[in-house]
Structure 1
Amino acid sequence: MLMPIPAQDFDPSEVAVGWQVLTLSGHRVVFATPEGELATGDEVMLTGRGLDPWGRVPGLRRVLGVGRLLRADARARTAYTQMLRAEEFRHPVAWDEASLADVDGLYLPGGHRARGMRRYLESETLQALVVEAFRRGLPVAAICHGVLLAARSIDPETGRSVLYGRRTTALTWRQENLAWQIARRTRYWDRDYYRTYLEQPGRPKGYMSVQQEVTRNLARPEDFLDVAPGSPGAFRKTSGLRDTPADERPAFVVEDADYLSARWPGDVHTLAHRFAAKLTQK
């Protein structure tokens, strides 16, 4: 199973939990980075340091308020520590050397920090890999901004996104905007930390959000799915609770044939478990 990631700033939960679940399920994960270098996740999302107003004060950085709520949870932090020692993580292949010939699936994690994520999201090499995976009928899983990479992957034979005609979810504008508004106040020295792309003058608010860009690449706006208000378990799925290996109730995962998608790190256990089962079935 191939997992391409950026050299820096990937979401530690989406990568490490995905790796852990897939590995424990008996699948071999092949990591790919831009030049085959050792990658590092988003330290702010890992530790929570830098998400509070006092986050730049050396003696106070370890005191967490907002950071404790928004950072990776204990399970994800443990998985990340374990992943850093794994041989497959320490010896990735380069993006342009990555091949789908000997893998049985493609996993696209996310992250939001523009410093590292833009190269990943804008890579024509990775977009070509995504197109190939869909053409081959390989199982593909994408979460958060990973869905945006899929949406930007245009099949040259059709001139359309590989997600055209499929149902998907991704990081919703409600989630992205909420985190952005919080950080604009608490991380005041880096007010747009939670936005990978900002709207240019004349564009409506949210135009460059993950949800809106993904939706523009779908056949119909209603093919972008979110938790329906009043649906069973809706409060739990939209409350900010995270799923666990034993509790899928907070998660929202969309399956469309061999394509699976999820919104944010709080869905990652469920997404990875269902993807592992899909790989086993193939």
Structure 2
Amino acid sequence: MGKSGQDFWKMIPNLHSQISLRTAKMPAAPPKAIVFLANNGQDPTEAAIPWEILTSAGCIVTFATEHGEVASADPVLLQSGVFASLLGPSKQATDSYKAMVASPEYQQPRAWSDKDFDILEYEIAILPGGHDKPIRQYLECQSLHEHLGRFLPHTARTCRQRPKVLGAICHGVLALAFAKCPVNPERSLLAEHGLQTTTLPKWMEGTAWVASQAWLKGSYYRTYIERGGWCCGDVEEAGGSYIRGPMSTKPFVHTDPNHRYISARFPGDAELWTKTILSEAKEAFGVW
């Protein structure tokens, strides 16, 4: 074999290393995120901020309602006036909400009740909150609960096959509290998976409800007032490990140590919550 031939074969290991290195650095495909919404009553901030941040980061965001109807947020929070300025979205969140509503993906939601809907098509699942009574449709929906029961095992940090990231904020956590475990119907998904979660604390819910009485809103801010239910109380009753968070409105989120599950308390946490979800996604799926 001539010298040129010998040189060629000496180059092969080096070429192989370079190809392997380039392959390892190839960006991952952008993750697909699904945002679940009630037909009516969603908090505009808790839906719009995730859409804006995830979309800006290159994620492919899809919305879903129970039967594929276009959702509408809580109209009380979108009104002008003092009450909405206290409990409703900021100007930035309002602008984000308007942009979200005008987007093609929002205007063409999927129906999670369809037989061909598969939650495992998505890498990220988002559960926004809301507090007026129409939100119950989403929180109590058995078909949504079944989807979440399939999704949650894939959020375990030990899961290497089709890993997933789940985020829930405020009343959105109740969908997990009300959902029953597929293999153990006596237990909620929160209890079965031993999830640590924050949610709307009693002091926040109580303060907002008392404030709402000045505008004669009645039971508006209390989603389950007829049975004396509080958001955090429902989480604890379901067997979840409730993380109250600080007694302040400074943004706070909680990341479960054993699952890629990120929870938050109220709209003021939405930006930090979504950025933490995004960080978990990059850790799980790589840079895209």
Query: TM-score scaled by structure 1?
Result: 0.80
Q: 1:71: how far off?
A: 1.4
Please list, as runs of the form range in 1=range in 2, the aligned pairs for 1:144-223 lying within 5 A after superposition. Answer: 144-159=170-185, 160-164=187-191, 165-186=194-215, 188=216, 190-200=217-227, 207-218=228-239, 223=241
Q: How many residues align?
A: 237
3-state SS of the aligned residue for 1:106? strand
Give the corresponding residue for 2:111.
94
Q: Do 1:27 and 1:276's aligned partners in 2 also have CA atoms closer than 8 Å? A: no
Structure 1: distance between partners of 2:105 and 2:283: 24
Which residue type is aligned with residue 39 of structure 1?
A
Q: 1:100: how far off?
A: 1.7
Superposed structure 1 runs of 4+ greater than 6 Å apart: none
Give the corresponding residue for 2:130.
111
Give the corresponding residue for 1:56.
none
In terms of fraction of residues, the more helix-rich structure is 2
The CA RMSD measured in Å over matched residues stands at 1.5
Please list, as runs of the form range in 1=range in 2, the aligned pairs for 1:38-53 lying within 5 A after superposition. Answer: 38-47=70-79, 49=80
Structure 2: distance between partners of 1:216 and 1:254: 19
Q: Unaligned stretches of 5+ in structure 2?
A: 1-32, 156-163
Q: Do 1:121 and 1:148's aligned partners in 2 also have CA atoms closer than 8 Å? A: yes
Q: Identical aligned pairs, as a percentage? A: 31
CA 1:216 to 1:107, structure 2 compared with 1: closer, same or farther past 3 Å? same
Give the corresponding residue for 1:32.
64
Query: TM-score scaled by structure 2?
Result: 0.79
Q: Do 2:198 and 2:245's aligned partners in 1 also have CA atoms closer than 8 Å? A: no
Q: 1:218: how far off?
A: 2.0
Which residue type is aligned with residue 123 of structure 2?
D
Q: 1:161: how far off?
A: 1.7
Q: 1:11: how far off?
A: 0.5
